[in-house]
Amino acid sequence: MFDPEKLMFIIIAFLVVIIGFAFGSSFKGIYYPIAMLFVLIAAIFVLVMGFADTIFFPLLMSAIGMRFQIADGYWMSREQNSVIKNVNGLYYATGYISANLFQYTFKLEMPLEEEESKMEQAPSNWERAVATLRFPWKYNVISAGLDVQDIRSELEGKRSFQEFQLARLMQSSNPSATAMQDIQREINIIQTKMDRISGGEKPIATLMYIETTSVGVSEKAAADSLNNQASSISTALGGFDVQLDRIKGRELLALFKSNFAIPQSIGELNDTFDKMA
């Protein structure tokens, strides 16, 4: 789901583009196409930075050849997909991969028997994956408990809305079976969440990622080895039905910093990470 706050920033920045487009016609002759060209460039930058900044910014900086020192002794690679440290001539490259396993073990529509079966297989699947990876890596789960009452009230509100939608659809002259099924499915998901909370489970927000480190005699050797390790992790965890993406740019910097101080609230986590939250 797209973050509404982020959307607001894009709209505000895009207003300037609209103003430029509206007033640009006041330029005459050769100045008109120049004005429109810059309006177009601004529109592209605003949209790309708004919707795909974690891809675009590293690409742009890599193309320019920019390299960033993010702390004493630590550099970001030019591709901004790893943190490099040089210790007495050996280069250490650390990369991060998003890996949200939540869907795997806590699928909300999953029947109880299926969930039990997945739970039963989870430890052995995990051990099999661990055994195949012959390099250092860490699986991290950042979690925070949410307020039970708040979440319950929110879910009740959502369920009432879906029930109202269903009732309205049923009263219509020609109710669509597919639409009714979709709403019923939504209601079931919400009900499952509510049942879990009633059963004593605490609602939590989680963010999961993998960190892996490689070593090489040059920065390139370390980075190449890190890329191989990232591919191996993708293969090994394939059985968990989890989407794995390399973290780049500002999210990489945030995860590097989180090694030393974890963000303090869910809001801060959500603001920092687009891919994993």
- Contact region with another protein (CB under 8 A), list: 162-170, 184-192, 198-206, 236-244: 198-206
The rounded distance, in Å, linking the Cα atoms of 204 and 148 is 9
Please report where in the chains the tokens 């370390």 appear, as a residue. Answer: 222
Q: Which is nearer to another protein, 149 or 260 (CB)?
A: 260
CB atoms within 10 A of CB 228: 11
Residues 113-142: x where in contact with another protein by CB under 8 A, - otherwise, as a string = ---x--xxxxxx-xx--x--xxxxxxxxxx
Nearest distance, CB of residue 239 and another protein, angstroms: 14
Q: Which is nearer to another protein, 112 or 177 (CB)?
A: 112
- Which are the contacts of 273, defined by CB distance < 8 A and separation ≥ 6? 207, 251, 254
211 binds another protein (CB under 8 A): yes
Among 17, 233, 244, 252, binds another protein (CB under 8 A): 17
41 binds another protein (CB under 8 A): yes
Q: Which is nearer to another protein, 98 or 213 (CB)?
A: 213
Size of the site for another protein (CB under 8 A): 95
59 binds another protein (CB under 8 A): no
Residue 253: both structure tokens together: 């910097």
Q: Are 213 and 93 in contact (CB under 8 A)?
A: yes
The enclosing H or E element of 88 equals: none
Among 2, 3, 7, 16, binds another protein (CB under 8 A): 16
Nearest distance, CB of residue 244 and another protein, angstroms: 16
CB atoms within 10 A of CB 229: 22
Answer left, alpha or beta for residue 249, where phi above 0 means left and psi between -120 and 50 means alpha.
left
Largest interatomic CA distance in the chain: 77
Q: Which is nearer to another protein, 105 or 188 (CB)?
A: 105
Q: 163-191 as b/e, with b when 16 or more CB fall inside 10 Å?
A: eebbeeeeeeeeeeeeeeeebeebbebbe
- Contact region with another protein (CB under 8 A), list: 57-65, 151-159, 162-170, 173-181: 57-65
170 binds another protein (CB under 8 A): no
Q: Which is nearer to another protein, 1 or 87 (CB)?
A: 87
Length of the chain: 277
Q: Which is nearer to another protein, 187 or 221 (CB)?
A: 221
The rounded distance, in Å, linking the Cα atoms of 239 and 246 is 18
- Contact region with another protein (CB under 8 A), list: 176-184, 209-217, 228-236, 238-246: 209-217
Closest CA to 82 of 73, 257, 217, 92: 92
Please report where in the chains the tokens 């659809």 appear, as a residue. Answer: 169
Among 187, 194, 215, 236, binds another protein (CB under 8 A): 215
| Window 221 to 260, contacts with another protein (CB under 8 A) | 249-250, 253, 256-260
Among 61, 108, 151, 169, binds another protein (CB under 8 A): 61
261 binds another protein (CB under 8 A): yes
